[in-house]
Amino acid sequence: MPPPAVKTIRDQIFWQYAKLISKSAGLGNARAFQMSRFTKLRDGEIVWSSTIREWLHEHENPDACIYCGAHAMPLTTEHILPRCCGGPDIADNAIRVCRSCNSEKGGKRLYEWKGLAEKDAIPRIAEGKYLKLLYDLHEQRGTLNIDKKDLGQKMCPACDMRGRCEAEGTVEKLSVYCLEGGFHAK
């Protein structure tokens, strides 16, 4: 679970991104550094990487699957937030992956696919793009500032992840599932 300072959907997105920054800096789970990055993101002192920078990272190893690193050709285009869950058909929602990973993930959302135990092992390129996309989608829906104390009333009723939350003990608690649970097949 996130630290007490993480109180809203926006905060949860920034917290996940702060952990990505820490991993990219080679600091792993350095909690003080993660908290520093989170605070700076939240307060607007730093911003996340640009789309161009993401594109450059993606093309550092263009023949490898973003998820597993395999050089299995041909790679396929995968929507990080599946189209069946309302994911847009835009470059910021697409990555190149092997057929095996694409098939395994199927129509699941990224955190739904990986689960809480593996949420911090998602490759940086995929999770970075995903968090930015989720931020934009929550901003469009007006749900970025929903506080964790209001989840049961404002988020959970429209979420299809309740079974997953019950199984993992996160019902009405702020988690990565809150970031994607409102985006599901209609």
**How far apart (Å, rounded) are the C-alpha atoms in residues 9 and 45?**
19
Asked if 92 contacts 77 with a C-beta cutoff of 8 angstroms, the reply is no
| pLDDT for residue 186 | 56
* Omega prior to 74 cis, within 30 of 0: yes
CA 7 to each of CA 50, 96, 162: distance values in angstroms, whole numbers, following the listed order: 25, 33, 20
| Domain ranges within the chain, ordered by starting residue | 49-180
| pLDDT for residue 163 | 87
Percent residues over pLDDT 90 in the chain: 65
Give me the mean pLDDT over the 41-52 stretch. Answer: 87
Q: What does pLDDT average to over the chain?
A: 90
Other Cβ atoms less than 10 A from the Cβ of 30: the count is 15
Q: What is the pLDDT of residues 65-100, one digit of tens each?
A: 999 999 978 999 999 999 999 999 998 999 999 999
Q: What is the pLDDT of residues 133-173, one digit of tens each?
A: 999 999 999 999 999 999 989 888 888 888 888 888 888 88
**How far apart (Å, rounded) are the C-alpha atoms in residues 24 and 66?**
15
Whether residue 40 is predicted with pLDDT greater than 70 in this model: the reply is yes
Phi–psi pair at 77, nearest 5 degrees: -90, 130
* Calculated CA dihedral for residues 16, 100, 168, 128, nearest 10 degrees: 10
